[in-house]
C-alpha cells in the first residue's frame, strides 16, 4: 500500500476533505471555514493519498499568522480514516507541517484537542508539545479541550 503526502490542489478535493474531517471531529465546520484555511495557507493543507486509487485517507489543515509579535503556527484540524490509523500517517503529516513552519521561522505552534482524545494527546506529546491549559466547555458539544504549545 503506497501512501504519499501532497498539498491541496484545487476545489475538487474539498468534498473529500470535508467528509473526512466531519466524520472524525466533533465540531461542525462550514465550507467557509475550510476555504478560509485552504485558500490562505494551501502549503499548510496536506493530504495523504492512497496512490493507486487516488483516495484521500488523511488530511491536516493549518495556518500561520502573526500573534503578539511572534509568528504562530496553528494546527486546526487533522483526521485519518479509521482503517488507515496506526500506520504513522498522522505523524507524517504533523512532521511535514512542522518542517514547513520551521522553514518559515515560526516562533510557536499551538493546537487544541478534546481532553478525551487520547490518541491525539499521545501524538502531540510525542512531538514535544506541552499542555498549556485546559479550556472548559471549549467545543460545541461542551467537551473540554487542552491547548498544546510547541
Buried b (16+ CB within 10 A) or exposed e, 51-73: eeeeebbbbbbbbbeeeeeeebb
> What average pLDDT score do residues 72-88 get?
90
Q: What is the count of structural domains for the chain?
A: 1
> What average pLDDT score do residues 34-62 get?
85
- Residue 102: which CATH number? 3.40.630.30
pLDDT on residue 60 = 92
Q: Which of 53-62, 66-75, 101-110 has the lowest mean pLDDT?
A: 53-62
pLDDT on residue 52 = 65
What are the residue ranges of helices labelled H in 1-150? 14-24, 31-40, 89-103, 118-126
Domain range for 139: 3-149
Q: Which residue has the higher pLDDT, 38 or 73?
A: 73
Amino acid at each position: 500500500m503506497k501512501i504519499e503526502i501532497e498539498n491541496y490542489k484545487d476545489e475538487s478535493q474539498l468534498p473529500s476533505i470535508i467528509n473526512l474531517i466531519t466524520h472524525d471531529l466533533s465540531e461542525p465546520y462550514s465550507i467557509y471555514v475550510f476555504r478560509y484555511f485552504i485558500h490562505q495557507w494551501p502549503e499548510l493543507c496536506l493530504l495523504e493519498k492512497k496512490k493507486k486509487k487516488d483516495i484521500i485517507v488523511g488530511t491536516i489543515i493549518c495556518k500561520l499568522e502573526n500573534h503578539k509579535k511572534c509568528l504562530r503556527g496553528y494546527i486546526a484540524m487533522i483526521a485519518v480514516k479509521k482503517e488507515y490509523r496506526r500506520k504513522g500517517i498522522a505523524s507524517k503529516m504533523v512532521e511535514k507541517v512542522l518542517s514547513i513552519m520551521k522553514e518559515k521561522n515560526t516562533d510557536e505552534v499551538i493546537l487544541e484537542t478534546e481532553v478525551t482524545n487520547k490518541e491525539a494527546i499521545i501524538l502531540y506529546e510525542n512531538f514535544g508539545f506541552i499542555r498549556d491549559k485546559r479550556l472548559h466547555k471549549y467545543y460545541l458539544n461542551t467537551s473540554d479541550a487542552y491547548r498544546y504549545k510547541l
